[in-house]
Amino acid sequence: MRAAVQELAGFFETSSGLKLVIEYGTVAKVAEKVTGDDPIDVAILTKPFLDELVRAGKMAGGTAAQLARVPIGLAVRQGAPKPDIKTVEAFKKTLLDAKFITHGDPSIGDDAGVHMAKTLETLGLASETRPKTRLISPPPGQSGAQFLTGLFQRGETEVAMARRLASSWKPRAPRSSDYFRHSCRQATWSSSPVLPGPVDNRSRQRLSSIS
């Protein structure tokens, strides 16, 4: 979402004359900021987190706008046979047959990781795959892609599931809830909606977004 938000922010600032202050973080960190009443005018999160914050009275109901649908891709090591994921049953078999599988760490609020954990639970695979799951949890200064590359190089994973960022990641398993949605919603305490106006120290709008 970072690239998309930066591009949209440029258009908004040019057309409105307002200056955005954008802070990035995982979905869990952004939700934590909203829950803790940090000064945020707009939050960009995945739908389950937004819905929970609305129920808690931390975000204004009826102000949501869907921004994007992000597909989840499945990858294997270069040169490995392409896995069969043409059906849900084939997808399940691929995961069960793999020695190790990898997805983002839901405990740190990785959006794709949260989604995949829920999908594995829905498919009835959570308990069977948990012992062989290697989570994407890079140390500071290392990207998730770099961390995942290292797992493949060391033979510590066979199948990885993450945001599909390259068009070569295909096909995908149909009808298996392999999309998650990014939505934007206004914080409940925001004194006014974002409106065009002159740039000064008081006209900086705060936006919190997942990375």
CATH number of the structural domain spanning residue 75: 3.40.190.10
The answer to whether the CB of 109 falls within 8 A of the CB of 28 is: yes
Q: At what angle do helices 47-55 and 27-35 cross, to 10 degrees?
A: 10
Structure tokens at 100: 């190790």
Is residue 206 in some structural domain? yes
User: Which has the higher per-residue pLDDT, 138 or 194?
Assistant: 138
Please tell me whether residues 75 and 156 are part of one structural domain: yes
Q: What pLDDT is recorded for position 160?
A: 92
CA atoms of 192 and 203, how far apart (whole Å): 11
- Is there a domain that residue 65 lies in? no
The counts of H helices and E strands in the chain are 7, 8
| Domain membership flag for residue 24 | yes
Residues 176 and 77 in one domain: yes
Q: What is the pLDDT of residues 141-184, one digit of tens each?
A: 788 888 888 999 999 999 999 877 543 333 344 344 444 444 55
Same domain for 103 and 154?
yes
Residue span of the structural domain in which 83 resides: 70-180
Is 104 a member of any domain? yes
Query: What's residue 184's pLDDT?
Result: 53
- Report yes or no: 43 and 59 within 8 Å, Cβ to Cβ: yes
Please check whether residues 171 and 106 belong to one and the same domain: yes
204 to each of 77, 79, 132, 199, 207, how far by Cα in Å? 45, 50, 47, 7, 10
Do strands 65-76 and 179-186 pair parallel, antiparallel, or not at all (unpaired)? antiparallel
Q: What is the pLDDT of residue 14?
A: 93
Nearest one of 117, 111, 113 to 31, comparing CA atoms: 111
Residue 28 DSSP SS3 = helix
Nearest-angstrom CA–CA distance, 210 and 45: 6
- Name which of 53-57, 102-106, 139-143, 195-199 the model is least confident about: 195-199
Report which residue type is found at 189. W
Q: Kindly state whether residue 156 falls inside one of the protein's structural domains.
A: yes
Of 124 and 4, which is predicted with more confidence? 124
Q: Is the pLDDT of residue 189 over 60?
A: no
Going by pLDDT thresholds of 50, 70 and 90, the confidence category of residue 208 is low
Number of domains the chain is built from? 2
Residue 71's pLDDT band, with cuts at 50, 70 and 90, is confident
CA pair distance 113, 111, nearest whole angstrom: 5
Residues 90 and 133 in one domain: yes
Contact of 10 with 207, CB cutoff 8 Å: no
Kindly report, residue by residue over 93-131, the tens digit of the pLDDT.
999 999 999 998 888 777 788 889 989 999 999 999 999
**166: exposed, middle or buried (C-beta count within 10 Å: 0-12, 13-18, 19+)?**
exposed
Residue 200 and residue 109 share a domain: no
